[in-house]
Amino acid sequence: MPDRFAHMQASLSGPASSGFAITPSDGSDLPETTRALYVGTGGNLSVRMLSGETLALSNVSSGSLLPLRVTRVFATGTTAAAITGLV
């Protein structure tokens, strides 16, 4: 299938080209830093940002697309589910 944008440089403001399922963990970082998180089932999120800062996000809605550079989604404090990391 042709990709008319194959010659373009990827940017953080452009669409994601890959993704992976996230299982929240207090002890393991994600396989790579995200460009965004998709939250399938709403709830609370506890994340470590690329900067190293830990954030608690309350009442994230189902179907939310959050433009966050995240290195870890913590199990403790996370009640949201069906989380996908977009890269």
pLDDT tens digits along 13-27: 778 889 999 999 999
- pLDDT reported for residue 57: 98
Edge-to-edge strand order for the sheet containing 70-73?
Answer: 54-60, 43-49, 70-73
What pTM was estimated for this model as a whole? 0.88
Mean pLDDT of the chain: 93
| Domain range list for the chain | 36-86
Checking if the pLDDT of 45 tops 90, the result is yes
Lowest-confidence range among 7-21, 45-59, 70-84? 7-21
Please, how many CA atoms are within 13 Å of residue 48, restricted to the half-sphere of its CB?
16
Q: Which amino acid would we find at residue 46?
A: S
